Amino acid sequence: MAVQQSKSEIALKGIGVSPGIAVFKSQLLTPHSDRAVQRSISKDEIPFEIARFEEALIATHDQIKHIQKQVAEVLGDEHASIFDAHILVVDDRTFIEDVIRTIQSDLINVEPVLQAVANRYADMLAKVQDSYLSERAADIRDVTKRIMANLAGETLDQMKQIKEPCIVVAHDLSPSDTASINKEMVKAFITDLGSSTSHTAIMAKALEVPAVVGLHNITAVINSGDPVLIDGAKGLVFVNPTESRLEEYRKRAAEQELILTELETLRDKLPETKDGYMVPITANIELLEELEGVDARGAKGIGLFRTEFLFLGSESLPGEQEQYEAYVRAAESQYPSPVVIRTLDLGADKLPTGFENPDEMNPFLGDRAIRLCLSHPDLFKTQLRAILRASVHDNIRVMYPMVSCVQEVMDANTLLRQCMMELSKEGLPFNQDIPIGTMIEVPSAALIADIIAPHVSFFSLGTNDLIQYTMAVDRGNENVAHLYNPTHMAIVRLIDYVVKVSHKFGLWTCVCGQMASSPQLVPLLIGLGVDELSVSPSQAPVIKDVIRKLYYSDAVELAHKALNSSSAGHVEQLCHDLIKKIAPEVLEISE
């Protein structure tokens, strides 16, 4: 790992998406040219252009299938499923017919038409105020880039041409680029673009390759061959690192290796504080393929099963039986631990194929989640019936998203009771006492928690949206993202109020948002009385480590100080100081 340093050190801060420390020379990847040169064609040439397009589609389909197979062999089906979205794009008849119609009407060659149509689709997705769907714009651009390369008879596999161990530097990396990484050659990567929710970030974590993205202009300040040091956990990049910097990180790399090894031993240990206070750790999942990884990392049960991905990943609306089988699979995999199934959190910004809903000016504040389900009772009842049938496994719970008033809960419960009566008449078994919960992710719901409580069995705090809606901040907008602050006094007080109401009515409260996966905020949540933490499976070991090194009494004291604080910065510092005292190793492996 030795590198020669002669130029001045440059320190940069990006988004750490895959932890680890690496020191190697850089390899700058040149961006692929789309070569979308426009030329006019005659009517006689239309069949030829369409044939070129279809041949490129077939080649692209085959290439993606080959990549998917390679990923499945190395990382398993869960990560190979990332490329399902790419296959859907290249097989999408609406997309294909749009390109063909434009070739026929405008009499121009396929390349600029493909580029224009793809950009239109990608731009629409990129504007959606949903991190998962906006990231899917990258899938469209990745597939388009591959189709364009096939039209030009070029290759995109720059990764396979790397012959020496290095740190890859690129403007951006597509999922297929990342899937082509040879870990013997690519020791880490850094990019101008990217976010923590991108497929590239997910792949980097799965491959356990250190990665920092969102550096804005790294490709402009670095040359191939420059020595680079990256800290993937903290999102730090050092170009031409000094000898003292290298020595510092040699020690840190050794320390991190010991920490990670120790965390792996916590899998079967209880999430219990040093003074005997138990805080269950459950998992957030989106895909059925993630079920196997829940117990493997030390979580017990599912605190949030995002069911909309059953719908968005399908060419048609899934029926009752298909949903029932998915929910049964989840219940059986976790039994006897709980499985909380969140009903559809869909809206005009994310709708499955075959579902029509009017366009909205601001879909993020529109007809979505529980509102949309109540306005489409047939859709909602199909899901409720499937959940109820699966509830013969008595570990299943049902939860309504984005509730903003008590009437929505009452109306949803009325439909649930109707489904119970229907199933009883049909002689189909179900759990008549299935626990019912509601997400608290809208300030209005938090403030009337006492009115909602008599109608439910539990609350689940969706802190990502609760913060966003309370602070009126789009966390995806870098101009205001600094205002998205989980330690803001309004957030701390809302959580405190909801938990107090919950306990007054004999309910339990879970946090399933990003706050639960943040080690520094876990003591605050526990001190505020949160009963359960539902986290990303990969975060379960570090969250369990914090809990096991914490005194509940210290957490309560922290919460008391936070509630009497006057600034978000002060609360954040209190949290940081406690973690530094009880589990300083956490600060070594997290941002």
Active site (catalytic) residues? 199, 512
Beta bridge partners of 500: none
Dist CA 91 CA 74 (whole Å): 25
Question: How would you class 345 by CB atoms within 10 Å of its CB: exposed for 0-12, middle for 13-18, buried for 19 or more?
Answer: buried
Q: Greatest CA separation found in the chain?
A: 81
| 465 burial type by CB count under 10 A (0-12 exposed, 13-18 middle, 19+ buried) | buried
User: Which one, of 321, 323, 324, lies nearest residue 311 by Cα?
Assistant: 323
Number of residues that make up the chain: 591
Q: Which residues lie closer than 8 Å to 86 by C-beta, 6 or more apart?
A: 64, 139, 142, 143, 175, 176
Phi, psi of 282 (to 5 degrees): -115, 180
Q: Tell me if residue 174 falls in helix, strand or coil.
A: coil
Residues 317 and 355 sit within 8 Å (Cβ to Cβ): yes
Phi, psi at residue 39, to the nearest 5°? Answer: -145, 150
Tokens of 238: 């050092």
CA distance 201 to 266: 25
**Rg, the chain, Cα only:** 25
Cβ-based neighbours of 420, under 8 Å, separated by 6 or more: 388, 430, 432
- The C-alpha angle 212, 213, 215, rounded to 5 degrees, equals 105
Classify 440 as helix, strand or coil.
strand
Per DSSP bridges, beta strands 10-13 and 227-231 are unpaired
